[in-house]
Structure 1
Amino acid sequence: MSTRRSLTEDAQEVFRAIALIELGARMQVLESELTLSRDRMIRLYREIRGVSPPKGMLPFSADWYMTWLANIHASLFYNTYLFLRNEARCSHLDALTKGFRLYLEHCRHSGAEPALDLTRAWTLVRFFDADILQLTPCCRCGGKFVAHRHDLQHNVVCGACQPPSRAGKTKKAAAARRGAEQTESDLPAVVTSDGIAEAA
């Protein structure tokens, strides 16, 4: 019975490793989250990605998440992660992978380029666990955004409500905006009960 249980647990670890690798996890993430041997995880990585795992240090600065766009994306992901942990009762690893998939899906539907990769998302969670970061409520929209642990908690505004003056003025953002406007103009009109035509 114990052997069967051990084989089941081993298979579950392999499936977890596959899910993380498919989402772009680095070896350091796999080694921190899983109990498989390093050699085995490297073989899995090569089999799934077709290349050897990349080398190099992981991101280590919490300041990266304070830049305007990164902060919006980090806040979106971490609020999703917390919901899955606290409300859906997911384990840390399930909340990480499911939350990151939901984040990518949201970016895809909204036409936004993801600012986070899985390693950034995983590092973000670790910064919260280490009490380096906190969620701070925005005094305008009421949403909670990522902030340094000892930053002000009152009368602060999130980056979505108060973007910097240059936000969204790049060529890429302008092209995305034009595409969105074109999409809206192509939508058929729907007449409401009040007789007002609205986009479908």
Structure 2
Amino acid sequence: MARVKSILTEAKQIERAVTLIHLGARLQVLESETDLSYERLLRLYKEVSGKSPSKGQLPFSTDWFMTWQPNIHASLFLNIHEYLNKAAELDEIDTVIKAYQLYQEQTGAQGLEALLSVTRAWRLVKFVDNGMLTMTKCSKCGGHFVTHPHEIAKHYVCGLCNPPARAGKGSAAGAIRMDVH
């Protein structure tokens, strides 16, 4: 019976890896979140995506999540992730996958490009789990946004309530349109 269980476990690991590859995850994410060997993951990556995986280091800085538009996208993803964490009994990586799929659905419904990659979303969750980032409630709108853990919560105002001076002026991908009439 142990042999059947290991085959089923391996099948689930492969299915999870394929889903992550389809979402654009980097090979390092697959290595971290599955028990499959590097060689197996490499073959699977090439088979599923039709190309070799990207090389190089994963993004490590928390600073990217603090800039205006990425912060809004990261906050949307993390709010979805936190909701799923409370409402559904999923493995952590499955929560990341589902939250990312819902994030893509929401940005797509608004006609926006998803600024957050699944690899950055995965890294964001790791940063929060390690206390490097947290969620802080906006004192104006009440929404929860990604911040550094030492942000003064009482007076925090999010980037939607207090956008930077040039916000909404460009036509960059993922831009949130701020039409004022």
TM-score > 0.5, shorter chain as reference: yes
> TM-score range with shorter-chain normalisation?
over 0.9
Question: What's the counterpart of residue 48 of structure 2?
Answer: 48
What is the aligned partner in structure 2 of residue 167 from structure 1?
167
Q: CA deviation at 1:77?
A: 0.1
Distance across 2 between alignment mates of 1:9 and 1:89: 18
Asked which structure has the greater RCO (Cα within 8 Å, sep 6+), the reply is 2
CA offsets, 1:36-90, max 9 Å, x none?
A: 0000000000001101111001101001100000000000001101111112222
Aligned to 1:25: 25
SS in 1 for 2:135: strand
Distance in 1 between the 2:160 and 2:33 partners? 32
Deviation at 1:176, TM superposition (A): 8.6
State the Cα deviation string for residues 112-131 of structure 1 (Å, max 9, x = none). 11110011101100100110
Identify the residue that residue 187 of structure 1 maps to in structure 2: none
Q: Select between 86-95 and 122-131 the one with higher mean Cα deviation.
A: 86-95
Structure 1 partner of 2:90:
90
Q: 2:121 is matched with which residue?
A: 121
Residues 114-153 of structure 1: pairs in structure 2 closer than 5 A: 114-153=114-153
Change (3 A) 1:94 1:122: same
Aligned-pair CA distance for 1:171: 3.4
Shift >4 Å, 4+ stretches: none
Aligned pairs (5 A) from 1:98-109: 98-109=98-109
Matched position secondary structure for 1:15: helix
Q: Equivalents in 1 of 2:171, 2:40: separation in Å?
A: 44
Higher CA-based Rg: 1
Between the aligned residues of both structures, percent identity stands at 49
For residues 3-41 of structure 1, what are the alpha-carbon distances to aligned partners after superposition, in whole Å with 9 as ceiling and x for unaligned?
111110010000000000000010110111110000000
Q: Give, in whole Å, the separation in 1 of the partners of 2:160 and 2:139.
A: 12
**Is the contact made by 2:24 and 2:118 (CA closer than 8 Å) also made in structure 1?**
yes
Mapped contact 1:59–1:120 kept (Cα < 8 A): yes
Aligned pairs, number: 177
Secondary structure, in 3 states, of the residue corresponding to 1:146?
strand
Deviation at 1:150, TM superposition (A): 1.1
Quote the Cα distance in structure 1 between the aligned partners of 2:110 and 2:86. Answer: 26
Q: TM-score, normalising length from structure 2? A: 0.94
**Aligned partners of 2:6 and 2:172: how far apart in 1?**
51
Local SS of the residue matching 2:134: strand
- What is the one-letter code of the residue matched to 1:103? Y
TM-score, structure 1 length as denominator?
Answer: 0.85
Structure 2's unaligned 5+ residue stretches are none
Cα distance, 1:91 vs structure 2: 1.8
CA distance in 2, matches of 1:114, 1:159: 17
CA contact (8 A) 2:168 2:176 kept: no
Q: Which moved more, 1:90-99 or 1:36-45?
A: 90-99
